Amino acid sequence: MNDTNGFAKEVFGFFTEIGIINQLSTTLLAKSLPDGVHPSHFSILNHLARLGDGKSPNQIASAMQVTKNTMTHSLKVLSDRTYIEVRPDPQDGRGKLVYLTPSGRSFRDGAIAQVSADFAHIFGADQIALMRRIGGDLEAMRKHLDNNRQ
């Protein structure tokens, strides 16, 4: 096996590991979420609650790393559930702005509590230590990949 193949093997293994962790944690999150709300939808509510609402769909799509069409779909789902309101942007005739409803806020708060309780069962001291140990490296890797996407 030559160098190129060895390099490929190592990098594949690395991203495969990350992919599996992502898959397992997403599945776990999905099971903790009530009412058939998809993790990606919850993520949008969480984003709006943490960083403030009144963002455009395009801004949210960039933050969530999904395409605009996906965001259109997700916002429709959240809007149908009355967790958000989407209003025209008074400053820009093309744009829209997304606002959390009181119902959306309370749903998000309840979900946070539920998910925290569920995760606490399997996330012990060792895992917390591990998380803190590699958190900085993960952030660096994320930023590097984000800055180098074509």
Residues that bind DNA (CB under 7 A): 23, 27, 30, 38, 40-41, 56-59, 65-75, 77, 86, 89, 92-97
Binding partner at 74 among a copy of itself, DNA, none, C-beta below 5 to 8 Å by kind: DNA
Does residue 46 belong to the site contacting a copy of itself (CB under 8 A)? Answer: yes
For the bound state, the minimum distance from the C-beta of residue 30 to DNA, rounded and expressed in Å, comes to: 7
Binding range to a copy of itself, per CB under 8 A, among 54-62, 77-85, 91-99, 137-145: 137-145
Count the Cβ atoms, other than its own, within 10 Å of residue 64: 15
Q: Does 80 bind a copy of itself (CB under 8 A)?
A: no
Q: Which residues bind a copy of itself (CB under 8 A)?
A: 4-5, 7-29, 31, 43, 46, 50, 65, 112-113, 115-117, 119-120, 122-123, 126-128, 130-131, 133-135, 137-142, 144-146, 148-150
